[in-house]
Amino acid sequence: MKKSTTLLTSITGLLLACCLLVSPSVAANRSKSFSISPMIGGYVFEGNQDLDNSLTYSLGLGYNLTDTWSTEFVLNYFSTTDTREDHRSSVDGLVYRLDALYHFMPGRTLVPYVAGGLGGIYLDTERGGSSTNFLLDYGIGLKYFLTQDLALRGDIRHILTFGDPENNFTYSAGLTYLVGGRPAEPPRPLRADSTGLPTAAAEPSDSRKSAAPNPSYKELEGVNERDDRCPNTLSKVPVVRHSCPPDADGDSVSDYRDACPGASPGLLVDDQGCPVSLTLSVEFDVDKYDIKPRYHDELNRGANFVRRFAQHKILVAGHTDSTGSENYNEALSQRRAESVRDYLIDHFGIDGDILLARGFGKTTPIAGNDTVEGRQLNRRVELACCAAPR
């Protein structure tokens, strides 16, 4: 009874400590990443085993198959004592497990999970005897993300060992460090020609490399045609070196005819300097990134857009409203972009290699965030034609 009370107290304390840390700052568990988890805790033996409860050290090596599903190989080491009077001696133990983990709410800072698996337990006594038994384990845990890569972690397991069936428990706390799984940076920009089809962007001219513009005008300066790299510039338009007008955002569309100045780098633009993009009418509930069945037809429209530019990479851009912190919204928008990317791959056979998912958080609203309707519109995903040919 005393042992059960002690275990219950430890479990309750671990859960309360993790829950007190909750805040919407940074998230979260991400797919296609490896994890390294050093931990320390306690190993509780069933009373009839005549073994003292012990401190235990563990190391977990895992891989996140998706945001929710992971697999992990764990080694648990402990050193205990055989308490029988006529057999008193030290006992070293090694538990090895292969587990599957399912994470709830992987886009949040606090990520609970359930786990289960199988493995073995090896006991080696000081007197020279040893034994190995098969085991099953299951339990629950929590991860609290301090950064995108680093989380605090707590874990509780029931371990059922065979031979003579024994019910053991282990509880541990430590760190989880994620490696990989980050989205790639978008490639260099393209622009559209007069037909609306993408072409490779020209290398920046000397005019865009010049720090100080020449305030002269062509009609006043009488520019030599041989030195004019932008012969179609209208008269009375300010020019810089080689008679080319300024292009502040570097999209190969001069400022004086750029209808979308400051367009995001890495996006294909048309002759007016505006991104070639498609805003999907796929809206998300607060703090959610799942796609509802009623948006299937809209995503079919998105699939057709991707097929039109299939020789280029397509940016799948996720967005949020202004609720929550910057880091939290960036991670949530990343989940929304990845949900749309996965849907296009799974339901329409789109090649995943051409889809680049990236979250922009709350940085680019299309409506005011001061109304419920405006915030709903801002929780969206857009498709935009990127740069690098396949």
pTM to 2 decimals?
A: 0.49
Residue 356's identity, in one-letter code, is L
C-alpha distances out from residue 346 to 151, 291, 385, Å:
31, 13, 20
Please, how many CA atoms are within 13 Å of residue 27, restricted to the half-sphere of its CB?
Answer: 29
pLDDT of residue 378: 85
Report the range of poorest mean pLDDT among 65-74, 100-109, 138-147, 154-163. Answer: 100-109
Higher-confidence position of 249 and 70? 70
371 backbone φψ class: left, alpha, beta (φ>0; ψ -120 to 50)? beta
Residue ranges, comma separated, of all CATH 2.40.160.20 domains in the chain are 2-179
Q: What is the pLDDT of residues 92-148, one digit of tens each?
A: 999 999 999 999 877 678 889 999 999 999 988 877 678 888 999 999 999 998 887
3-class SS of residue 98: strand
Q: How confident is the model at residue 204 (pLDDT cuts 50, 70, 90)?
A: very low
3-class SS of residue 225: helix
Residue ranges, comma separated, of all CATH 3.30.1330.60 domains in the chain are 277-389
Specify the CATH number for 277-389; select among 1.10.3720.10, 3.30.1330.60, 3.30.70.20, 3.20.20.70: 3.30.1330.60
Report the range of poorest mean pLDDT among 36-40, 111-115, 172-176, 315-319. Answer: 315-319
Domain at 2-179: CATH code: 2.40.160.20
Q: How confident is the model at residue 293 (pLDDT cuts 50, 70, 90)?
A: confident
Q: What value, to the nearest 5°, has the Cα angle with vertex 275 and ends 242 and 297?
A: 165
